[in-house]
Structure 1
């Protein structure tokens, strides 16, 4: 896939970011975190251990690239954002991380991950509760890094159906307040699959309306649906990015 990208872009364009979808890479929880793992406790004590395991997978990914391919990749982009999911092979527990990899330095320079779970994930997802990790500055620009479902904190439909006194509504409001104070110029989202522009359209349109500082945004696209894609790829790409 990277070779295919470079075949069309190398020496023709340069990029600040290469954006991947959620779950672009995966890893298993280390053995000491596979049994009797309490989610709330893990959110407080085990995130760094899981990031360390994920980092090993990322290092292997880049080490396995052809040296010429990696050299060309470094000449084409500054940063490579990586959606990497970790799974507990003994049950349904998971963590959805996002790493920002500095191609020039050859290492991960920033970690965050999903903080806003889907309904089906509330019991099993190890959330990234430190919201500050989503807000970074690179190349003198303010950037927000989002996991898959995190973008739905901006969805009017999703927030309208949320319990106004529930933790998800309060979390969404807290994140949006922090986001508006930060005044990001770029927002990068890492969804797992996107086969129709309608999935993220409302949320991105709300971002455009409520945060005029945002000059660019994009979703990492894996154009797939096991039951068949529902929208045209060109429309998907058009509705999941903003260029000014």
Structure 2
């Protein structure tokens, strides 16, 4: 049975190396998935920083995303890939958090609304890049971008932040998206994005389907039950592909819920020496194919 959205949700910490991400998708390929949009989490792969411009970062992200999808067979019309790159462990230094959308061609957007700690370092993508005419009218969001729809964020925003929120909301209301694809790095609480999603539903009644694809992990312990996080971060026709990084490999299918567990805990917790092994803490959350056509050859 085909679903509109199928999202990858990783349960447990994850290295975000290209090798481990490829291994996850290789296992996902074994599942009987058929969807319009297959999503991976924000920062699904983390690549070394070596750029002099934003366009160079996008080109390298595209090359690495193509490498990630090579040999992967997932029955989806479109796949999203979160790609991060940091020049330093300090968010005051240049960094990008991108989302590549592949439907036979690549479309790139990324985080446009930084956390406070990222204000100086994040190279922001254009607001217009978030709105894509694919098989549906799709709005693609980076991690913190969903906060734009949080009423508390708008009430507290001043200066360029308020201007960004107002302009983004105006673009979204004019675009009238059918589908929203959100790519947070970590989501361990059912309340993290709840207010923003609920307000988005009010402001954009055209949206019939939405989902967050993320990693369920917090060093001090998760704050909500995992199944509650799944329920509170989706709407409409959404299938869940759950990867548990801590237990032995198994695959089960329960309606639109797919669960599999990785072969080795250590495989997916390995570090990547060229760049931070996970997004800096300030990136983690707000405060309080068709089989042949959707992969590169």
Aligned pair partner of 1:131 in 127, 130, 137: 127
Q: For residues 216 and 90 of structure 1, do their structure 2 counterparts lie closer, same or farther at Cα, with a shift above 3 Å needed?
A: closer
Cα RMSD after superposing both structures? 1.6
SS of 1:28's partner is coil
* 1:160 is aligned to 2:167: no
Q: Is the 8 A contact 2:139 2:179 kept in 1?
A: yes
Aligned pair partner of 2:233 in 227, 236, 240: 240
> Matched residues in 2 for 1:54 and 1:210: separation?
32
Alignment correspondent of 2:183: 190
Higher helix proportion: 1
| TM-score after normalising by structure 2 | 0.68
Q: CA deviation at 1:56?
A: 1.9
Query: C-alpha deviations, 1:102-159, integer Å up to 9, x for none?
Result: 3xx3xx520111110000000111111x2111111111x1100110000011001111
- Unaligned runs of 5+ residues in structure 1 are 34-45
Alignment correspondent of 1:17: 37
- Unaligned runs of 5+ residues in structure 2 are 1-23, 238-297
Higher relative contact order (CA 8 A, sep 6+): 2
Residues 41-120 of structure 1 aligned to structure 2 (within 5 Å): 46-63=53-70, 67=71, 70=72, 72-73=73-74, 76-89=75-88, 92-102=93-103, 105=104, 108-120=105-117
> Matched residues in 2 for 1:90 and 1:158: separation?
26
> Matched residues in 1 for 2:88 and 2:48: separation?
7
Alignment correspondent of 2:137: 142
Q: Is the 8 A contact 2:62 2:106 kept in 1?
A: no
Alignment correspondent of 1:151: 146
